[in-house]
């Protein structure tokens, strides 16, 4: 049964598995661990561990029947697919110097994967590479992935504590677990179909080192019983760091698998497990020695804070690549307007900024006699018009509003809104592109919401530069400035989604995306800043910026798949709006981040420097971005000459 009832959570992390030994009676294995034990699935060997192909003829008298754990008929197809994850024999070593072992390993791997695929299992667990040299193992897995349709392969990787001097550098695994994973996938051409099962031990790496895994394709976390502590009542529990790690896995659809022998015996006479954790079926605890561990995992799952309403709304957009809006070129649809208009937080911030601007423009003693001219450029269906009128009412100021909008469909809605609300004497609707309209008078305040995920990517600078000719010399622009930011990220899912298009143009496109399964490898840095009104000379909207990111010394090695872009805007004075992580406006959903992919990912190491260049390029007809890496290894300049661009100038 699932770990708990959380109506909004439909992810795989609701289900907890258990790693078992080989058992030739699969129905009994499932009955013991699932029906009685309460686990949702088993990670079980499919082949007798004593089997070796080179000995098959002698042991089986030439019968050729492989010693699998029962035939496919012992369970129904739905039981095989829902409750069993196959576990490939851990003894295999496809890169062994022993030729017989190497050949046996390759044969067994292919036989077991073929059997698991025949059973329609959802996944199969591969053993960790035995050492730093794993070329033959990767080659065989790559061949297998070519023939797989639906079944996933999980590669087991031990999560070693790289920042601990006690690690034996001569051990079977390299010090950095990520290096083990990366060396394997770099050899495996079809690694996009390969996932990771992390072995969680009693000692775990630093937060930065752990964080990079959230950008990789982790599907399972195998929690060894040795990683559990003992609480005051004798039950298993986890350290605070382990608890935080498990909570992160729950939030990233990673399934927990309990493994190992029970090392926490139930206290004598202890019957009230629910006093420490939720008890799903106490009778089962007495029958299954690993049940206390399952109940503790369930307890951690159920005590998680519920997702805020905003996050629930965004669930369907997580890691989903979207082309940015181009409102200067395209007329937005009603559904798009409606989505943005529901963002109450954004308009509250705008109203606050307009209130401050009105109070600064009109002294209290002139509030009843002086009328302010306010222009909303890019008025859409009127939310900023409403916010402006509410600000005027709140401050006791008088307004004359021009609502300028180029979309003829939105103009229809604006006229209806003005008539419905009785604003005819206050609001004048202008059906025109703001850059080409000849205003009859100049504005005291110019209000717009032309910001994109990267600040300037929806051509706010070009639009407002064109509109500022009808702003008074001492007039106020809201927003008054905005800055774009970028940071390097590990984002294997996003990278593989871009790569799946198998062309260059998709790697030279910036995407709007609700980032989720990503690892942020360094703090974001500012790129381009625009101020309004713009006092610079014409053509200054073309920019170039070189950035140097320092990778924290405790991160370990990591892969940079691209750059996440954000913005932070000053609407007026101390009123801000933005999505840059360190200063993001809470509970605002109008903007997701923007993702600039790299054609070839770049490996960075602890304490190293990543040097990046970004350009904002302009021509008479289009605006576009170019980007590249120059250190530690140079990349091509992406989107050179603006193959992917924003048009409408």
**What domains does the chain contain, in order, with CATH numbers?**
12-52+68-220 (3.20.20.150), 334-449 (3.40.50.150), 481-648 (2.70.160.11)
How far is Cα 436 from Cα 45, in angstroms, rounded to an integer?
71
Please give the Cα distance from 426 to 101 (Å, whole number): 86
- Find residue 152's DSSP bridge partners: 123
Residue 169 is predicted with a pLDDT of: 39
Catalytically annotated residue among 19, 106, 112, 449: 449
Which 3 state secondary structure label does DSSP give 178? helix
Q: Copy the structure tokens of residue 295.
A: 């109940």
CA distance 125 to 84: 11
CB 353 within 8 A of CB 597: no
Given the residues 458, 462, 580, 626, select the one marked as catalytic. Answer: 458
Question: What span, in angstroms and rounded, lies between the C-alpha atoms of 161 and 204?
Answer: 5
CB 506 within 8 A of CB 643: no
The token duo for 569 is 């805007």
Q: Within 13 A of 360's CA, how many CA atoms are on the CB side?
A: 14
- Sheet of 398-405: strand order equals 427-431, 398-405, 371-377, 443-448, 471-478
**For position 371, what pLDDT does the model report?**
96
In a 13 Å sphere around the CA of 357, the CA atoms on its Cβ side amount to 30
- Per DSSP, the residues of 439-467 read -SS-EEEEEE---BTTBSTT-HHHHHHHH
E strand intervals along 382-480: 398-405, 427-431, 443-448, 471-478
421 is catalytic: no
Residue 127 is encoded by which pair of tokens?
């053993």
CA of residue 114 relative to chain centroid, distance:
33
Cβ–Cβ < 8 Å for 608, 632: yes
At 601, give phi and psi (nearest 5°): -60, 155
DSSP label at 255?
E
CA distance 644 to 632: 26
Instruction: Give the 3-state secondary structure of residue 298.
Output: helix
Pairing relation of β-strands 194-200 and 218-224? parallel
pTM: 0.90
Give the Cα separation of 6 and 147 in Å (integer).
37
Determine the angle formed by the axes of helices 344-361 and 383-395, rounding to 10 degrees.
Answer: 50
Give dist(CA 260, CA 271) in Å, integer: 24
Q: What's phi and psi for 637, nearest 5 deg? A: -75, 120
Distance, CA of 623 to CA of 172 (rounded, Å): 53
> Token match 């910036």: residue?
510
How far apart CA 330 and CA 551 sit, in angstroms, is 40
What one-character-per-residue DSSP string does 494-519 give?
HHHHHHTT-SSGGGG--EEEB--S-E
Contact 318, 251 (CB under 8 A): no
Q: At 353, is the secondary structure helix, strand, or coil?
A: helix
Three-class DSSP category at 208: helix
Which residues make Cβ contacts (< 8 Å) with residue 552, sequence separation at least 6? 208, 522, 606, 607
Which residues on neighbouring strands pair with residue 322, listed in sequence order? 512
19 is catalytic: no
Burial class (CB in 10 A: 0-12, 13-18, 19+), 421: middle
DSSP 490: E
Q: Which one, of 45, 21, 184, lies nearest residue 124 by Cα?
A: 45
Cα-based angle 27, 42, 275 (whole degrees, multiple of 5): 110
- Yes or no: say if 95 and 133 are a contact pair by the CB < 8 Å rule: yes
Per-residue pLDDT, 164: 45
* Average pLDDT per block of 10 residues along the chain, 649 residues long: 68 90 93 93 94 74 71 93 96 95 95 94 95 90 91 94 47 69 88 90 93 96 95 92 96 95 67 42 61 94 87 88 82 89 95 98 94 96 97 97 95 96 96 90 96 92 89 96 98 95 93 96 97 74 95 94 98 97 94 96 96 94 94 94 68
Nearest alpha-carbon partner for 449 in 393, 361, 388: 388
The CA-to-CA distance between both ends of the chain, in Å, stands at: 58
């Amino acid at each position: 049964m699932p770990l708990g009832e959380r109506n909004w959570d439909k992810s795989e992390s609701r289900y907890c598995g258990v790693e078992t030994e080989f058992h030739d009676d699969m129905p009994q294995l499932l009955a013991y661990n699932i029906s009685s034990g309460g686990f949702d699935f088993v990670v079980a060997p499919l082949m007798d561990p004593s089997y070796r192909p080179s000995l098959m003829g002698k042991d089986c008298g030439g019968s050729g029947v492989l010693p699998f754990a029962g035939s496919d008929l012992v369970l129904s197809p739905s039981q095989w697919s829902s409750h069993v994850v196959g576990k490939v024999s851990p003894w295999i070593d496809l890169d062994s110097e022993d030729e017989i072992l190497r050949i046996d390993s390759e044969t067994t791997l292919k036989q077991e994967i073929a059997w698991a695929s025949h059973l329609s299992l959802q996944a199969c667990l591969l053993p960790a590479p035995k050492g730093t040299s794993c070329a033959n193992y990767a080659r065989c897995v790559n061949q297998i992935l070519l023939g797989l349709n639906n079944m996933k392969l999980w590669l087991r990787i031990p999560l070693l504590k790289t920042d601990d001097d006690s690690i034996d550098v001569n051990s079977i695994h390299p010090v950095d677990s990520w290096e083990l994973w990366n060396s394997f996938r770099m050899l495996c051409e079809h690694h996009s179909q390969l996932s990771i099962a992390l072995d969680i031990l009693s000692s775990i790496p630093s937060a930065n080192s752990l964080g990079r895994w959230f950008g990789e394709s982790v599907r399972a976390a195998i929690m060894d019983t040795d990683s559990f502590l003992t609480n005051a009542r004798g039950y298993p529990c986890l350290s605070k760091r382990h608890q935080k790690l498990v909570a992160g896995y729950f939030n990233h659809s990673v399934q927990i698998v309990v493994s190992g022998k029970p090392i926490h015996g139930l206290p004598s006479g202890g019957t009230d497990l629910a006093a420490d954790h939720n008890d799903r079926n106490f009778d089962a605890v007495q029958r299954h020695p690993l049940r206390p561990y399952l109940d503790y995992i369930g307890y951690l799952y159920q005590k998680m804070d519920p997702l805020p309403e905003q996050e629930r709304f965004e669930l369907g957009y997580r890691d989903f690549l979207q082309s940015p809006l181009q409102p200067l070129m395209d007329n937005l649809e009603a559904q798009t307007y409606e989505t943005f208009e529901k963002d109450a937080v954004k308009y509250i911030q705008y109203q606050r900024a307009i209130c401050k601007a009105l109070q600064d423009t009109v002294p209290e003693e002139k509030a009843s006699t002086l009328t302010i001219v306010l222009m909303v450029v890019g008025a859409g269906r009127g939310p900023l018009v409403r916010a402006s009128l509410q600000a005027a009412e709140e401050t006791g100021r008088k307004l004359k509003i021009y609502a300028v909008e180029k979309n003829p469909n939105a103009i229809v809605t604006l006229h209806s809104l003005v008539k419905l609300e009785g604003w005819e004497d206050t609001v004048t609707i202008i059906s025109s592109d703001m850059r080409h309209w000849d205003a009859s008078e100049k504005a005291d305040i110019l209000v717009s919401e032309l910001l994109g995920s990267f600040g300037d990517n929806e051509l706010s600078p070009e639009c407002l530069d064109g509109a500022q000719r009808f702003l008074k010399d001492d007039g106020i622009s809201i927003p008054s400035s905005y800055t774009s930011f970028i940071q390097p990220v590990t984002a294997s899912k996003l990278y593989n989604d871009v790569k799946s298009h198998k062309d260059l143009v998709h790697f030279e496109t910036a995407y709007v995306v609700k980032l989720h399964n990503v690892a942020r490898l360094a703090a974001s840095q500012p790129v381009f800043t625009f101020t309004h009104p713009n006092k610079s000379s014409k053509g200054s909207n073309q920019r170039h910026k070189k950035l140097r990111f320092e990778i924290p010394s405790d991160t370990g090695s990591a892969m940079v798949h691209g750059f996440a872009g954000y913005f932070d805007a000053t609407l007026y004075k101390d009123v801000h709006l933005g999505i840059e992580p360190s200063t993001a406006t809470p509970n605002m959903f109008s903007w997701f981040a923007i993702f600039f992919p790299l054609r070839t990912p770049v490996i960075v190491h602890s304490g190293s420097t990543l040097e990046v260049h970004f350009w904002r390029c302009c021509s008479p007809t289009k605006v576009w971005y170019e980007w590249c890496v120059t250190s530690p290894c140079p990349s091509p300049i992406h989107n050179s000459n603006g193959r992917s661009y924003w048009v409408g100038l």
